[in-house]
Structure formats: structure tokens, C-alpha cells
Structure 1
Amino acid sequence: MMPLFNEHALEMSIMELFKDEDYTYLNGEQIHRERTEVLLADDLKQYLYNRYGKDGITPSEVDSILLMLRGISGTIYEANKSVSKMICDGFILNREDRSQKDLFIELIDFDTPENNSFKVVNQFEIEGINNQLRIPDGIVFINGIPVVVLEFKSAVKENTTIMDAYTQLTVRYRRDIPELFKYNAFIVISDGANNKYGSFFSPYDFFYAWRKVESDDKDLDGISSLVTMIKGLFRRDRLLSVIKDFVYFPDSSDKDLKVVCRYPQFFAANKLFENIKTHLRPEGDGKGGTYFGATGCGKSYTMLFLTRRLMKDTFFRSPTIIVITDRTDLDDQLSKQFVSSKKYIGDETVVSIDSRERLRQELQGRTSGGVYLTTIQKFTEDLSLLTDRTNVICISDEAHRSQINLDQKVRVTAEGVERTYGFAKYLHDSLPNATYVGFTGTPVDGTIEVFGGIVDAYTMTESVRDGITVNLVYDGRAARVTLNQQKVKEIEDYYAKCELEGANEYQIEESQKAVAHIDMIIGDPDRLHAVAEDFIKHYETRVAEGATVAGKAMFVCSNRNIAFTLYKIIIEMCPEWAEKKICADGVELSEKDKKELKPIEMIKMVMTRNKDDEKELFDMLGTKDDRKELDRQFKNIKSNFKIAIVVDMWLTGFDVPSLDTIYIDKPIQQHSLIQTISRVNRVYEGKDKGLIVDYIGIKKNMNLALKKYTNFETDEFEGIEQSITIVKDQLEVLAQMFHNFNSSDFFYGSPKEQLHCLNRAVEYVQLSEELETRFMAAVKQMKQAFNLCSSSEKISDEEKSYIHFYCAVRSILFKLTRGDAPDIAQMNARVRELLEGAIQSDGIEELFETGKHISVDIFSDEYMDKINAIQLPNTKIKILQRLLTQAIDEFKKVNKIMGIEFADRLKHVIDEYNNRRRDEAYANEVLDDVAEQLAKLLEELKGEKESFKKMGIDFEEKAFYDILKAVAKKYEFEYPDDKMIELSKRIKLIVDDKSKYTDWSTREDIKANLQVDLILLLDEFEYPPVTLDDVYKEVLEQAENFKKYAK
């Protein structure tokens, strides 16, 4: 029989891949050390002697370095941050002999990879808090420092995922062996087909695959992605580069922020770095290159990674770096990020500049260093020189807009001729010898002209495929709110004119007549009432149907006056939206939430004040500090602030991952359009896609932008029509599945009958394993599609009712088999109430809560009574199966022989259940018999778990007793029970004596001693000698089992 590709097989295959990359492989049991020690101390000492022997480093100085590392304390995050800085930036060692020059110590030689020791170790046993023993599946050591921890799960186990590996590392290991993660750069979770890495402190959603070995390679999935990750991320020089420059800690963080680069960020920063080297003035042309990255792919972190590389490399002689944005709100966000990154960047002068004069003062007399953040608008005051130095690098954020505008404009006024220039003209004349680098999600031709060619690109297609952003879906609703089709034609003509002229937004603004005319159409009072009415209905339907993850929406208006008018119409229709609340009704708040949240309206306008604003608008818009508070509240999913009405603010560089719907009622140019709609493409738990609702008719322009800027694989955005088709197709499939089931009580019965119908439906779906699998998949696909088209009139009320019915059944079944139901909150409110009632109605609510972490005594009489009270046979069987599987898995860890016996018995009963014929499915006596067998098995397991107490021995001795008993049964001989108990106690003493050495199970001398001691012991107790090999094998396996499942 072919062996299963289990976790051990995966583990060993990964070890082989590391060996291919010239890592030394060791089994942890081969390493002599104290189990509490997580460093390979001998390796680190040897490296230090090799590296600094010529400087006369002494043994006591080497010991002091190890002592310093071990002594770093604080929270895991604080300690990890401190160790990371020591590793990445080095540190000064004060010499014992003060007459000698202090040594600059690097724990890793980043410049010469071959000077380091690279080892990959599996089964490395660690004794942690409260003597807990844990054994990570794999650890990568560089010079004896455990920089990467790997955890594997079997790809062939359906109910085991890499999420389980993530939980094991970040919950159990964090709790029990925190010392290991003090040195950690990042962690890896894998099942062979799915392979991800990320920061130990990051949520699971921020773990990603490394999908390319080199930047120009084709990205790979599945088993190939495992090879790609090892070759691409763990190539020795590559791993050193990632650890040194691409692991980011802010100077301070109350959220334990640590960012490990994604592969597109790594390649982009390095390629830009090399291109800047080539084009640096005075020898080069100053065009450092353009990076074209999909909006939402983390360009700000790529800028940070690049900035650190530029600052740390001696080639650039500590350059001065000026980071420029074209909007104040972008500048605020980027400035905050950079200013809090001084230690990472390696320069204490990281300053946000508020005027040209301030920048002039900062640059005067400075020959190197410094990072300055400003907006392009700060350069419009004059054309005078700021500095003519060549080691100045300008990094432009969103380089597609104002920073490429070099042209002169001439305007004739009553006072005479007035000449003005594009913003970039002022910039280039002020810093004539600087090298310019452009970051953009939407490059236009001028971008290439100013910054140089595209050095690297990361497209929307790649970003969606990598799970870094979500896909976008288009819902066109312009026809519902435009009262005159001639007006639609005029808007289309306006777009065409702008495209024909190649106009940018600044030139368009000069055409006041055209803009004013379009605004008259958009701002028509009757039209705005129609927009408001449709928007309210659409939004409320999505919230009521649980189709939005947090109810966050953005509404983009054409101008300030239109936005204010629309706001007043909406409040007139929904006055309750203007009531100040801390949060929506029914939302549970933690103590932290109560401190952070403030009473606020559900809908707010977000824009800067204008001196000419009427008082009501002026007061409503508030100060800059008020806008910062709006920013904080909108990003908090529990805040009552759900809907932001905007014109220009928050349309670029504003990240709210939970935002999943954007309503657009503004003509937007192609390059700005991609930025705008990308507000809803961020990844968030429960968010499958972002929804764009169009009230102005932007579809044609969107598709042109898609083709021009995103390199998308299709010519058009996905429309909700596809979602509607999926919903209707899946409803048809589900109707066929339920053709023998009478669901009328759910739709027409009393509340009690509805509840009973739901529970009967859950039973029905479990008629066969194949039916259950198909049902769960169909409903999931249907619900994901329905989330996008829940407001469509093409989905009838009857169809919605069936959607609610199927979703409720799925959620009960999901909770029944998995222990929780993450999709339960995203559901129609009425159905959610029904669902809760259905769970409570049959007394199984508490049983559901058992989940993976057993917090109640499942073997108590009270608990068994609750199980026996369940009237639904399939439901009862599923609960018993789940509880037994968990309990047996736990029992195997302390008694392998009996655990296997119980597992075999459970498998036999479940096979009998799964293999029942369909015509027997309604025969309750068959189901009752299976449920009775499972309940009996649970009762017997309860007795077996406690049996050692009655025998006067501990659970380990009981495991050895069961080995002796099983061997006696195999060889068919009788042996006195009292002697067997005494013999098991003596075996435990022998095993305890041998297992005090961490490497005992791989040392042949210790195993030989164990075998000799067992021979003598069995002879002393007159246990038949023919059994020796079996007893030795089982005792050894049980001893290793105790060790293995100490994890």
C-alpha cells in the first residue's frame, strides 16, 4: 500500500528542498543542548570566532554577546524588535580591555553569505513556560539564531488547513515557547499545496505566497509554489536580504505592527535601487525609473524598503531623500508612516515640510542625509535653487498627476500678462541635479518622460491572484436616476472631449463652462432626489441582507455644492442617519472600543472648509483635527460612522479594508478613476469582492482605464449580471437537491413550524455525504454572488426567501460540523433570529460551542443528557462524531494503543453510517442504532480515560500496561494483572531515566541500553521472552509519542 503524504512526509520533502539550497539538515534530536535553549550556541560562538578572531575577540566577550541576546526581555514584540535591530543594524561591543578599540558586531555577515552557517532543523524539542514541551516542525538557523519557524499540515486531511498551522504557531507556541520567537524574522505555514509566510504578529489574512523565484518569472500555484517559495525566498543571499532590509518595525506601535515584504515589493525596491544607481546624476540622466504598481498593493511600504536601502548603501553616500505627493491628505498619511520609521530608515532627520522656505532652511548647509516629505504644491512659490547637490533623490508618490506637468501657461488679465508653470517645472528647477523616481498605479505618457521607463510592474491581475487585493464588480444604475436621455448623451460627449484633448484635470478645470454645464445636469434637484432614493434603498437592502461586511460605504459627488445638497436630501429622507450614536444598535463594545469610539452621525461629509461656505456647511465640515477624527472613526468597523460623502478627499491613498461599496456620481478621468474605485479593493475578512455602484455612466471609461492601466486579462470589469446569473443557477441546483423535501413551513408556517422546518432541512441535507458536500459548496457560491446583487430587482422576493432558507440551513450545518459559523453574521436579520432559535430549540446550542477548544466536561452526565435529548438523528450523530474525534485525538497523545483501538471502532461505526443505502436514509432505527453506538463509545472512552486512577497508577504507566496487555493478547497467554501493573510502573522508571536526554531517541547507545534494561526487567517479571521485540517497539513508540504530542 502506498504511504499517505502526511505531515511527516511533507516535512521531510521540505527538508530536502532546503538541502538543495545548501542548507545543512539536522534532526533536532541529534543536537546536544538544554531543552530550554533555543539558540544553537556553538554555531553562534564559532561564527563570532571566525568573523572577529583577527580582532582578538575573547571567549568571555563571545559569552557576553550570547548573554546579552538571552537577556533581552519585555513582551515578545518588544524583544523581537530589539533583537531584529541588533541583527539587521549590528551593535557596538565594548572591549574587556578598554585600551582596545570597541568592536562593531554583526551577528550575520550580510555581505558574504558563505561566511554564515545555514541550518534547517526539524523535531527541535523546546521546553517552555511551566515545563511545556513543544516541537516545531521546522526551524531555520543562521549562525545558530532561529530566524524562521515553519509549521506543516497534511494536504490530504480535509479538515486540516494551514490556518491550523497559523493558530498553532501564533497561539499555542506564542503562549508556551515565547523565547523562540524573540529571534524570529517571519514564520511559514504550509500543507505542500498552499504555502504562505508572514510576520508572527500579523493576522492570517496578511500571510502571502512567494510566487516567483525571479521577478520576470511566471507566478506558480499548487505544489510548484512550494518549490518557488524555497528557491525564491530561502535562497541564501535572498533570505539575508529580506531579513536585513525588508522586515519593518515602526518606531512605536500599540498594535504590534511588523511588516515582512511581499515578493512584488522586494523585487520592485531592488530593481529601482539598481536603476537609480545607473541613472544617478551627474553621470546619469537623473531618471531613476517608474514603478507601476496596482493600487492597494502596498506601494508606501515599497517606498520605505527602497528608502532604507538607499540610506544604508555606501554607494549613495547617505543621500538626501525628498518624498513628494500631490495631495495634502496623501502627504499626511505618508508623512505619518515615514516620520515614525526613523530607526528603520536609519536617519533621525525624517521631517514633514510645510513650506518651501522650511525646505530651503533644512537643505542649506546639509551635504548628506535627511528624509523630507512634502507636497508638490509647496514648490509653486518661486523657481529659485534649493540645492544643486547630486546625491538628492526625489521619490514621487502617485506620479501620474501634477508632478509631470512642466508646461508654461500664459493668461491675459486686466493687469497684463501672467505666466505660470506646471508644478513639476518648479520642482526640477529647484533641484536640478536630483534623481527622480516615480511610483504610480496609473502611469501616463508624461510619467515615463519625467521619471524614466517602467522599471517594474505589478498589475491588478497579479494583485487579485495573490490575494493582496480583491476583485471589483460593477453595478450600473445611471438609468434609474437620469431623467433625460439627452443629458446622458451630453455627459458622454464631455468625456469624449476630454479624452480627445488628452486633457488633465487641471486643464479641464479651466474649461469652466463645460464643467458648470455638466454640474447643472448632475445637480438637477429632481435627479438628486432620484439618486438619494435609489442609494438609500440599495444601501439599506445590502445591510439588511448581510451583504456588506461592516456597512461602510463611500459616496463620490461631483462638487461641494452637489454633495451638500445630496446630503440634505438624504437626511430629509432618513433623519435617523443624522443622530449621533457611538455604534449601531446591538453592537457589543470592548473596554478599548468604549475609549476609542465617540458619538457620531451615521453619514458625514468629508472635505475641507472653504472660506465662502455658508455657515451650516462651514460648521459641519469642521477643522483639520475634526477630519482626522473622522478618519479614525471611519476606519473602526464598530463606529456608527458608516457612510462618507466625498468629492476629492479620501479618493487616493486612503485605506479602509472593511470598505466594500463605493457609489460614484462624478465624471472622473481614467487615471483618477482607477484610484477612486480601488478604495474598495482592499482585503478584509468576509469580503469576497468590492462593489462599484455607478450613477453617472462611467462604465465605458472604466473599461478604457482597465485596459490602459491595469493589464487586466479581460477588457471589461465584471458586472453584477454575472452575480445574478450565478445566484439563479445555484438556486436551480439547490431546488433539484431539495425536490423531495417539503419546505413550505419555512415560508408559510408559524415561527415554531419555521424552526422545525430548518432542523428537518439540516437532517435532509445529511442524507448522504455526497449531498451534504454539494449543498455546502452550492450555498457558499450562491451567497457570495448574492452579496453583490442583493439590491437587484432581477432577484425576486421569492428567490430571496429561498436564499435565506438555504443560508440558514448551511450555517446550522457548518456550526454542527466545524464548531463555528463565520458566515452567520452576514445574513438577513430575520433569518439570523430564526437560526438562533433553531439552534436553541433542540437544546444543542451549548453543544455547538464546544468547538475545537473543549471548555466544558463533555463526559459529564449533564452533557450526555443534552446529547441524548436531541431529537434529530443525523444531527446527534454529527455532534457525537465531532466530539469523539476530538476526544480520541487527545487520548492518543497519552495512550497510543488504546487511542488507536477507539479510533478504529469510531471509523467502523461512521463507515456504517456513511455507507447506508439511500432507501435506508429515513429508517430511524438505522440512525438510532448508529447514534446509540457512538454514545456508548463516548461513555466507554470516558471510563477508559479515568481507569488508571482505579488501578492506582498514573496515565503514563497505564499506557505501558495497555502495551503489555495488547502483546499478551496477540501471543495468547495469560499474565497476572497485579504483576502487569507493577511491571508497567518499572517500565516507566526506565523510560524516564533514558528520556532525560533530549536526543535519546536518535542515539543508538541509549536505545540499546533501553533494550537491555527491558530484557532484564521482563526476565525478572517472567514475562515471556518471545514478546521482547514487540514490547520494545511499542514502549519506544509510546515514549516518543509522549514527546511528540507534548507539542
Structure 2
Amino acid sequence: MTPDTSENKIQQNSINLLQNLGHKFISREENLKLRGGKTSEVLFREILTQKLGEINGYEYKGKRYKFSQSSILKAVDELAGVSLNEGLMVANEKITNLLLLGTSIEENLEDGTRRSFSFKFIDFENLQNNDFYVTEEFEVSRANQGEAQKHRRPDLVLFINGIPIVVIELKKSSVSLENGIKQLEKEQGKDEIAHLFKYIQLTIAANGSEARYGTTGTPFKFYSVWKEQNGVNESLKGAIKDRKISALDTALFSLLSKDRLLRLIRHYILFDKRMKKVCRYQQFFAIEETLKRVSAKKDGARAGGLIWHTQGSGKSLTMVMLTKLLKQIYTNSKIIVVTDRIDLDEQIHETFKNTDIKAGRASSGSDLIEKLQSGVSVITTLVHKFEKVQNQKVVIRDGDIFVLVDESHRTQGGDLHKAMKKALPLACYIGFTGTPLLKREKNSFAKFGGEIHRYTIDDAVKDGAVLPLLYEGRYVGQEVLDADGLTRKFDLISRELSDEAKRDLQQKWARFERVASSEQRLELIAVDINEHFKKSLKMAKGGFKAMLATQRKYDAIKYHQIFEEYGEIRTAYVISSNEHEELEAGT
């Protein structure tokens, strides 16, 4: 029998699964009734008011009190009253902070005084104190009522304590989930239903065969696939017995199980310069594994390890999220982020700044010593500054210092790394690298305490996070650079060109007779690249770019000059400092 892959069936399967995960179902009719029949309202105010009264209270002079009804209503109004005047992302950040941090409510006390007490909207410490709901066909009035279409109707919306938290758009199997992502993007527009999305923490688009997730403001290209580290969970198999488990089932189970959902909202969603970002699965599992690894001390020190995540997998944000969690778990800890290049130090410091983490950047070896001995809890520094620490014989024996070492394979075996270890003998060292390790570098794993987590370039390509590297050998031997060899090469390159294109190429080819033999090879390679780029890349959809790495600075400049004279492809050259020169220059 052919399985039913219609949107209605997919929606019903999703609701059934979410109910099995503990989300109470509210029908379309009920969700409108809970809003007083107003499609402009998106909160379930009755549920919210009741729940906030249950999970909140305050202590005064040894006695426990509940908040007054007027105070609870004031808190609800504060949440609902966050304005969209400054844009959706500003409003969403304000609401996210209210959900994470709560607010402060002033109460009239029995002795006639007034005092402020903390007040929460979600109880992150006690999962069972929160109520989780799922509803379907959640009709919301658009901001622009001047068009024929007055409403939008997200397929599924999930609520915590009456606050909308997750929006899901579903499509039948024959329709691409890209349509669902585009719909989610569109609905966040100022003429649309931004007053719903100002609360939303997760967005999911799916069809019968695949699912991707993001958060409010996530651009189309950054919607990601979620994969569980150990395959399909046994609990999921128990929840779905009458049909085959789909990619959507896995995504819903992984992202929306009650404990996982609260953990994602609390620790794995952040704002980077007003751009809201949610972790990818490899970041989540790497951090979770790291927290397990460092939880116990042996001889005063915590076990560290190496996180090997390919380039483009978000190492900087992994460090930021890990730092936030370490600071929360180990309140007196000190986090030191170590790099070996000035540009990386600037980049990671800027990332911390953009995500509201106050980090002190060591300007010199002496400044690093001062920061290590002060109350600065997050420090970014270049590894070579530890040489000064060692020379000054500064040793800090603290098992709650965490050292996050970026591109750790490059420095872990040198004197600078030894200086760092000598200065901080009890620190927990966590290495990060995105570079495929050579055989001689494999001992990086052992030096840092073994592998914590791995995410390879093959994994990233499968997830669509990076493009594959495709190689095509193009050999230019010295024997080509005589008259007969040049003729053969010309015939080879021009064999598929039109007569007009051949004449154009012949004009470039004539250059070989006018340049010194030492530069003929550069000319030959340049013309080969020029013609290949025009034919294979320049006309390709999306406008591919290319990178040419040279052995010498002179060659890079010369290639640029040749391409400029051809005038058919635009180029620029970038010359970076030698890593060792850079370290010396930064002292």
C-alpha cells in the first residue's frame, strides 16, 4: 500500500508525535477561543496568567508569598507590549531576554513597604513546572489589512506556558521544503505576522522526506539539517510503531522533546550583532560532550580534549556558546581563548563582543599577566604572550581555568605551548582545529587529552553546509615552452573555440615571444586559467569565484598584472604575513 504523503497526513503524524513527547494538543477552534476570537492576538493569555501565578513567588522575612494578580497581569503586559517599531529582530531580542532572564516585579508587602522581586516566564530549572502545547492552523491577522489576503495560517505552532515558541511549515512530499522556508521568511515581513515571530525561538520547514530548522531572521541559505549523534533514538522508535520513521520525525523528536527544547532556547541560541543564530547539531553535541569531559577533576585538574570541526562549521560560535555555559556552570571560572595569529585574535574578540560577552584582550605579555591575576573572567590572547608569563615565573594553580586553543595543531608541540602549560599547570585545555591533520600532527589528540568530537568536511558536504572540493589536474611542463610545444598547447586550449575566439586567443599567445623565458610559464598558466574560467565558471549559475595560490609573492602580483592586461576577468591579490613573522611582530 502506498503511504499517504499528503500535507494533512504529515501534519497529523507530526501532531501525534508531539503529543507522545508531552505537548498537549489544542485544536484550531480552541486556539481561536483561547485568544478571545481575535486573530490579532497570539498569546494564550488565560493559560499564561494562570501558569505564571503557579511558577512564581517570592520570599520575604522567612515566609513564601505568591504574586498578586495585578502584578502577574503587569508582567504579561510587559511581554506582550514589546514594540516592533525598531524592527522584528530588536523586538525578538528583547523578548528572548525576558524569556531567559525574566523581569522584576514590585509588590506591596504586608508591612506597608514595596520591594521588587524576580519574575520568570519559563522555569528552566524545573521542566515539569512548564506546560507545553501544540496547535494547528494558527490563524493570525496580517499587519497590512489593505490586501485581499487578510490572514496567514502557520501549520503548527508550539507554545510554552501560553507563549508561542516554535513555528512549523509543512509541505506534501512532492513539494520542496524550500517553499516552506520561503514562506517562513515571508511571514516575518513588516506587512505580515511579525507580531507572532517576535516571540519565536525555532522555525522548522519540512516535507515528507526532509526537514530543516532555523530561528527568527535566519536567511534561507542558513537553514540546517539536524542529525542525532547516535542515530535514531530508541524512544523515537517506541513512539512511532505503525509507520516508517521520517527525517521530519527525527527533527521533531530531536529539537522539540521538552528537555531538549528548553536546553536549546536557554543555551544554544544567541544574537550576533542583532543576527539571531541557533546552533548546528555538531556544535550542540561537541559542547555537550565537552561539558561531560570536564565535569570531574583528577589531581586538581579537569580532563580536556580536541574538537576537530572542519572549516566553515562555526568554530567561533562554538567557543562563544561553550564559554557561556562554562561560566554559568563554574561561576568562578576563568576562560582564556588562545590563538596564534593576530587576525584570529581580532576575529574571536570581535565575536565575543558581538554576542555580549565581555572579554579582555591581552595587549602584551605584561597585560596578560595582569589580566590572569585580576578578576577578568574571559581573556583573549596570542599564544606567544605566554613567553613573558613564563619568563616572569608566574604560575597560577587553578583547576577552574579553561584554555580554549584555536587551530591548536599548529602550536601544541612548540615552546610556546609548553610555556602556557607551565604557567597554568592545572588548567583544562580544549583544542579546536578545522584543518585536516597530517600524520605528524595526529598527536594533537593525545596532547589535549583525546578526541572530544569530530565533524569532517565529508559531513559538512553531506549536510550542504559547505561546497565540495573538486580537483582537475592541469599540467604545464617545461617542455611546452618551445615553439612546437606552444603550438600543441594552443591547439589543445582552442580546439572548442569559435574562429573569433581563436583569433582573440592568438593575440594573447603572441605575448610569449615578447617575454623572458623565465616568465613564459606564468603567461602560459595565466592564459589557460583565463580561458578555463570563461568557459567553465564565469557563465555558471551563481557566478562562481576562484582562488589561485602561488609559491611566491612576485608570482601573485605578476598573475594579477597579466589578468588585468587581458581585461576579461577581475582579479585582486592578497599577500599575508608569514605566521612566525606575525607572532614576532605582535610582541
Could you tell me the TM-score, scaled by structure 2's length? 0.81
Which amino acid in the other structure matches residue 467 of structure 1? G
Distance in 2, matches of 1:107 and 1:374, equals: 38
- The answer to which structure has the higher strand fraction is 2
In the TM superposition, 1:378-389 aligns within 5 A as 378-383=385-390, 384-385=393-394, 387-389=396-398
Specify whether residues 387 and 80 from structure 1 end up closer, same or farther in structure 2 by C-alpha distance, changes over 3 A only.
same
1:878 equivalent in structure 2 = none
Distance in 2, matches of 1:11 and 1:96, equals: 48
2:445 equivalent in structure 1 = 448
Specify whether residues 473 and 92 from structure 1 end up closer, same or farther in structure 2 by C-alpha distance, changes over 3 A only.
same
1:356 aligns with 2:365: yes
- How far residue 365 of structure 1 moved from its aligned partner, in angstroms, is 3.3
Query: For 2:443, what is the secondary structure of its paired residue?
Result: helix
Distance in 1, matches of 2:540 and 2:479, equals: 29
Pick one of 471, 490, 504 that aligns with 2:468.
Answer: 471
1:247 aligns with 2:265: no
After superposition, the C-alpha distances for 1:480-525 in whole angstroms (9 at most, x for unaligned) are: 145599xxxxxxxxxxxxxxxxxxxxxxxxxxxxxxxxxxxxx964
1:112 equivalent in structure 2 = 126
1:182 aligns with 2:151: no
Pick one of 218, 227, 233 that aligns with 1:211.
Answer: 227
Query: For 1:72, what is the secondary structure of its paired residue?
Result: coil
Contact 2:404-2:429 at 8 Å conserved across structures: yes
In the TM superposition, 1:93-492 aligns within 5 A as 93-97=105-109, 99=113, 101-131=115-145, 132-156=150-174, 160-172=175-187, 174=189, 175-212=191-228, 215-217=229-231, 224-250=246-272, 252-253=273-274, 257-279=275-297, 283-284=300-301, 286-313=302-329, 316-342=330-356, 345=357, 349-366=358-375, 370-383=377-390, 384-385=393-394, 387-402=396-411, 404-406=412-414, 422-441=415-434, 442-443=436-437, 444-477=441-474, 479-481=475-477
In the TM superposition, 1:433-832 aligns within 5 A as 433-441=426-434, 442-443=436-437, 444-477=441-474, 479-481=475-477, 525-544=519-538, 546-547=539-540, 549-558=542-551, 562-572=552-562, 574-575=564-565, 602-608=571-577
Which amino acid in the other structure matches residue 547 of structure 2? M
Distance in 1, matches of 2:522 and 2:3, equals: 68
Q: Which runs of 5+ in 1 are unaligned?
A: 407-421, 486-522, 579-583, 585-600, 609-646, 650-1047
Query: For 2:294, what is the secondary structure of its paired residue?
Result: helix
4+ runs of 1 displaced by more than 4 Å? 1-4, 481-485, 523-526
Query: For 2:425, what is the secondary structure of its paired residue?
Result: coil
1:42 equivalent in structure 2 = 46
Query: For 1:539, what is the secondary structure of its paired residue?
Result: helix
- Higher Cα radius of gyration: 1
Query: For 2:409, what is the secondary structure of its paired residue?
Result: coil
**Structure with larger RCO (C-alpha < 8 A, sep 6+):** 2
Contact 2:366-2:389 at 8 Å conserved across structures: no
Distance in 2, matches of 1:45 and 1:87, equals: 15
After superposition, the C-alpha distances for 1:196-234 in whole angstroms (9 at most, x for unaligned) are: 11123122121122222xx222699x9521221122111
Contact 2:207-2:248 at 8 Å conserved across structures: no
Q: Which runs of 5+ in 2 are unaligned?
A: 58-63, 237-243, 482-516, 581-587
After superposition, the C-alpha distances for 1:977-997 in whole angstroms (9 at most, x for unaligned) are: xxxxxxxxxxxxxxxxxxxxx
Query: For 2:573, what is the secondary structure of its paired residue?
Result: strand
- The answer to which structure has the higher helix fraction is 1
In the TM superposition, 1:853-932 aligns within 5 A as none
Distance in 2, matches of 1:538 and 1:85, equals: 52
Distance in 2, matches of 1:577 and 1:103, equals: 69
Distance in 1, matches of 2:559 and 2:41, equals: 67
Distance in 2, matches of 1:359 and 1:139, equals: 49
- How far residue 266 of structure 1 moved from its aligned partner, in angstroms, is 0.8
- How far residue 2 of structure 1 moved from its aligned partner, in angstroms, is 8.7
In the TM superposition, 1:866-1015 aligns within 5 A as none
Number of residue pairs aligned between Structure 1 and Structure 2: 511
Pick one of 82, 99, 103 that aligns with 1:72.
Answer: 82
Specify whether residues 125 and 551 from structure 1 end up closer, same or farther in structure 2 by C-alpha distance, changes over 3 A only.
closer
1:837 equivalent in structure 2 = none
Contact 1:194-1:223 at 8 Å conserved across structures: no
Contact 2:560-2:572 at 8 Å conserved across structures: no
Q: CA RMSD in A?
A: 2.8
Specify whether residues 393 and 484 from structure 1 end up closer, same or farther in structure 2 by C-alpha distance, changes over 3 A only.
farther
Contact 1:577-1:602 at 8 Å conserved across structures: no
- How far residue 382 of structure 1 moved from its aligned partner, in angstroms, is 5.0
Pick one of 70, 73, 97 that aligns with 1:85.
Answer: 97
Distance in 2, matches of 1:336 and 1:365, equals: 22
Could you tell me the TM-score, scaled by structure 1's length? 0.46
After superposition, the C-alpha distances for 1:33-81 in whole angstroms (9 at most, x for unaligned) are: 2322211112222221111244321101100001101111131111001
Specify whether residues 576 and 531 from structure 1 end up closer, same or farther in structure 2 by C-alpha distance, changes over 3 A only.
closer
Distance in 1, matches of 2:548 and 2:144, equals: 54
Specify whether residues 136 and 549 from structure 1 end up closer, same or farther in structure 2 by C-alpha distance, changes over 3 A only.
closer
Contact 2:139-2:152 at 8 Å conserved across structures: yes
1:52 equivalent in structure 2 = 56
After superposition, the C-alpha distances for 1:606-662 in whole angstroms (9 at most, x for unaligned) are: 324xxxxxxxxxxxxxxxxxxxxxxxxxxxxxxxxxxxxxx879xxxxxxxxxxxxx
Distance in 2, matches of 1:150 and 1:92, equals: 32
- How far residue 294 of structure 1 moved from its aligned partner, in angstroms, is 2.1
User: Share of identical aligned residues, percent?
Assistant: 28
1:25 equivalent in structure 2 = 25
